[in-house]
Chain A
Amino acid sequence: QQPVQSPQAVILREGEDAVINCSSSKALYSVHWYRQKHGEAPVFLMILLKGGEQKGHEKISASFNEKKQQSSLYLTASQLSYSGTYFCGTPEMDSNYQLIWGAGTKLIIKP
């Protein structure tokens, strides 16, 4: 079942903070976060694993609450380059990383 993302869209001024949420109706074993800029391919941001381990390339933080079956992505002191649509993906099964993606959160950063 598709994870639910909120908000659907957010507009910020450069330097402001944002939180993007991803919730699932089923148990989560991991959450994957990607960002897609307009007309481009999705780019990997971070994987959060059960047990608290995080793997990511960028200085973006996230939390993973297994009990609440949700994850939140924290964008602090946002830069213009953070603009894009953020997707969370959850595996179809616990040992299989075929991702089911949320509908996305569109983030617009204004100077």
Chain B
Amino acid sequence: ETGVTQSPTHLIKTRGQQVTLRCSSQSGHNTVSWYQQALGQGPQFIFQYYREEENGRGNFPPRFSGLQFPNYSSELNVNALELDDSALYLCASSYAGSNWEQYFGPGTRLTVT
């Protein structure tokens, strides 16, 4: 059974650019949540996808968007990058109905200069 994987591991972008982060869910999981974690802070919920539909969204602007594919992998897209977008981006997969225990990937460290 493979765990949650994310790519890339690290990324450096310039302000105003666009970025796509990828996440492969753990086998058998149908829900993916994305989080932003600034240094020394707890994760902040961005949004969640269940069966390819957005299932909820945190307090993030529309330039943060996502997709979930039929194999339950997912993408996080961020347009018009700002310096404050620099953070660790975590995805977590879970199976709806299992009390939503979440399994996290190792994260993508995004630096915006």
Residues of A within 8 A of B (CB): 2, 30, 32, 34, 40-44, 47, 49, 55, 87, 92, 96-104
Contact = CB atoms under 8 A, between A and B. Distances in A.
Given A41-B90, A42-B90, A42-B104, A97 B99 contact: yes
A103 B41 CA distance: 5
Interface band, chain B: 20 to 34
Nearest to B46: A98
| Closest A-B pairs by Cβ, 5 of them | A97-B100, A41-B104, A101-B42, A98-B56, A42-B104
A101 B44 contact: yes
A49 B99 contact: yes
Contact of B101 (A2, A55, A98): A55
Contact of B43 (A40, A87, A96): A87
Contacts of A96: 55-56
A60 to B, nearest CB: 15
A68 to B, nearest CB: 21
B34 to A, nearest CB: 11
Given A87-B43, A99-B45, A47 B99 contact: yes
B105 A44 contact: no
Interface string B1-38: 00010000000000000000000000000000101000
